[in-house]
């Protein structure tokens, strides 16, 4: 048996979710159509380690349609959707993934994906690359290269390359503009609002919506909440970011002030202790608090507990804390990423571009990998533009093209007043 999943009987439900994602991922479907004819991945064995979701399933099946043999594991013990894993297993993918596995099982699954001696790797967080570099060095000579999906993984790979410990070329998919810019702003923005609404079903219009941290994720959340009629307040430590928020039309103030006026708070800073005891003490009755930063350290839950008289789960992903001052505050998803815990992560339309970068990078490794060094490579600008063009075209949109005269004008430093 070349798979291990929770329950194969879930396959039919998973297949419907995959088909839904396919209908929202036009770039991936265009790539599938084009490359199933030319089979650029024929003879390749791709081991992948990435969240087993409906969108990832579209990537897996596109890699296979282009000729590759594929084996897969999840890159996080809690992100696997069991019905998706079942649907992939049923379709003959060597998949090892189930929700809620322990750390030992997690690495066991990664190792199973290496059984067929991959020629290419595809990572989100670099655990597969690390497993090859530490426990399965014997397989490295057979590997042409790999791709990495996330900021964290790319960071790890660059450090490894600098130390000369990286043994095969890695393409940094994360750093494509059609990946990180869209993921962070539009993916996090919508899915975080979605998580808040699923957990609370509150009206956003007219609410004071406080975003802590006005980076890409904070901007995504703020712009979307504003679009639904909320009054957005941003808190910042960086004056440039604060200025951007101001010129976006948002109010800027320190958390010490925002705490007293906010109805909904979302942290997106990457920093710990953004909301602490003295803030909880000032909050209005009914305030809602959540986090969309990577680690659940932004809201100091210990402080909240210490102020609470009692607590109860009043809805899914919604904890009501009755404070000693008589007010109630509501913590969503226990301070974990609200967009993943209470919603479904980034929408398929956003993953469409991220995964198009993954797919084209795998194809590039087949063509160029043998000449590449054991370094971290960027996505070529032409690929980024190609993906954006195809995405636009699938949305029925067109852009203008410069005339030769305009191109000459752009490069003519003599042209002036």
Contact residues: ligand 9W1, CB under 6 A:
51, 53, 55-56, 76, 79, 340, 344-346, 351
CA distances from 343 to 22, 32, 35 (A): 19, 28, 33
Q: Report the first-to-last Cα separation within the chain, whole angstroms.
A: 74
Measured between alpha carbons, how far is 198 from 190 in angstroms, rounded to an integer? 12
CA distances from 396 to 26, 27, 265, 390 (A): 11, 13, 37, 10
Measured between alpha carbons, how far is 53 from 50 in angstroms, rounded to an integer? 9
* H/E element, 191: helix 188-200
Residues 220, 341, 355, 57, CA torsion sign? negative
Q: Write out the two tokens for 238.
A: 């960086």
Measured between alpha carbons, how far is 109 from 95 in angstroms, rounded to an integer? 8
DSSP per position, 234-262: EE-S-HHHHHHHHHTT-EE--HHHHHHH-
Q: Residue 121 phi/psi, 5° resolution?
A: -125, 155
CB–CB of 222/211 below 8 Å? yes
Give CB contacts under 8 A, 24+ apart, made by 277-284: 277/303, 277/306, 277/307, 279/255, 280/304, 280/307, 280/323, 280/329, 281/307, 281/323, 281/325, 282/256, 283/259, 283/327, 283/329, 284/260, 284/327
């Amino acid at each position: 048996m070349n798979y291990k999943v929770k329950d194969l009987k879930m396959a039919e439900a998973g297949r419907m979710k995959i088909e839904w994602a396919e209908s929202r991922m036009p770039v991936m479907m265009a790539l599938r159509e084009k490359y199933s004819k030319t089979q650029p991945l024929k003879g390749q064995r791709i081991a992948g380690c990435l969240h087993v979701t409906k969108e990832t399933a579209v990537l897996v099946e596109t890699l296979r349609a282009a000729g590759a043999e594929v084996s897969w594991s999840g890159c996080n013990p809690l992100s696997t959707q069991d019905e998706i894993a079942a649907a992939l297993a049923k379709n003959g993918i060597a998949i090892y993934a189930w929700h809620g596995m322990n750390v030992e099982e997690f690495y066991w699954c990664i190792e199973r994906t290496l059984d067929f001696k991959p020629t290419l790797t595809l990572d989100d967080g670099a655990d597969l690359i690390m497993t090859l570099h530490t426990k399965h060095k014997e397989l490295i000579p057979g590997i042409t290269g790999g791709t990495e999906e996330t900021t964290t993984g790319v960071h790890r790979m660059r450090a490894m390359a600098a130390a000369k410990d990286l043994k095969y070329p890695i393409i940094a998919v994360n750093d494509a503009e059609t990946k990180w810019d869209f993921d962070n702003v539009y993916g996090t923005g919508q899915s975080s609002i979605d998580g808040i609404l699923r957990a609370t079903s509150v009206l956003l219009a007219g609410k004071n919506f406080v975003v802590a941290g006005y980076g890409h994720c904070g901007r995504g959340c703020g712009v979307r909440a504003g679009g639904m009629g909320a009054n957005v307040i941003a808190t910042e430590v960086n004056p440039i970011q604060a200025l951007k928020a101001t010129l976006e039309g948002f109010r800027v103030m320190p958390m010490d002030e925002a705490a007293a006026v906010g109805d909904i708070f979302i942290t997106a800073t990457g920093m710990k202790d953004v909301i602490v005891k003295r803030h909880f003490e000032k909050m209005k009755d009914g305030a809602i608090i959540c986090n969309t930063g990577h680690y659940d350290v932004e809201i100091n839950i210990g402080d909240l507990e210490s102020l609470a008289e009692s607590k109860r789960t009043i809805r899914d992903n919604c904890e009501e804390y009755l404070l000693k001052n008589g007010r109630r505050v509501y913590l969503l998803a226990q301070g974990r990423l609200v967009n993943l815990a209470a919603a479904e992560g980034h929408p398929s339309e956003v993953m469409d571009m991220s995964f198009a970068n993954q797919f084209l990078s795998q194809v590039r490794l087949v063509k160029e990998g043998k000449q590449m060094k054991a370094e971290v490579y960027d996505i070529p600008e032409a690929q980024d533009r190609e993906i954006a063009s195809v995405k636009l075209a699938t949305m029925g949109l067109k852009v203008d093209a410069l005339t030769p005269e305009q191109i000459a004008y752009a490069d003519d430093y003599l042209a002036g007043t």
